């Protein structure tokens, strides 16, 4: 299992850092991948696009989830329709339980 925690803002200025971590997870073939957004205060379209690409790369077999989505991030996921598509859980424990099957 690979867990990545996002802190602060996930936008065009910071997405490259997260992208390197996510690429490391993809290249290592460690599954599943959990992205913890409980400390993410802001997300823009660059961050959303990065999460979507990661979800597409991992979720063919249900091995990707988000957790800890705060109000601002939840609003963006709602507006884009992704909250209905990408598995999202209120906290890390619930997400880990789902990913473990």
Query: In the prediction, which pLDDT does 63 show?
Result: 87
CA distance 54 to 64: 8
Q: Which CATH architecture has domain 2-100?
A: 2-Layer Sandwich (3.30)
CB neighbours of 61 closer than 8 A, spacing ≥ 6?
31
pLDDT tens string 42-75: 999 999 999 999 998 886 677 899 999 999 999 9
Q: For the whole model, what pTM was predicted? A: 0.91
- Please compute the mean of the pLDDT values over residues 70-95 and round it to a whole number: 92
- Please compute the mean of the pLDDT values over residues 82-92 and round it to a whole number: 92
Handedness of CA 96, 94, 20, 57 (dihedral sign): positive
Query: In the prediction, which pLDDT does 60 show?
Result: 64
pLDDT tens string 2-49: 899 999 999 999 999 999 988 888 777 677 999 999 999 999 999 999
Residue 71 · residue 40 · CB < 8 Å:
no
Q: At what angle do helices 45-58 and 71-80 cross, to 10 degrees?
A: 70
């Amino acid at each position: 299992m690979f867990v990545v925690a996002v802190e602060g803002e996930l936008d065009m200025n910071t997405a490259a850092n997260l992208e390197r971590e996510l690429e490391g997870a993809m290249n290592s073939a460690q599954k599943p991948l959990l992205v913890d957004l409980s400390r993410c205060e802001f997300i823009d379209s660059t961050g959303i696009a990065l999460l979507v690409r990661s979800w597409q790369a991992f979720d063919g077999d249900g091995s990707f989830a988000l957790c800890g989505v705060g109000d601002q991030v939840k609003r963006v996921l709602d507006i884009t329709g992704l909250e209905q598509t990408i598995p999202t859980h209120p906290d890390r424990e619930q997400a880990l339980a789902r990913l473990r099957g």
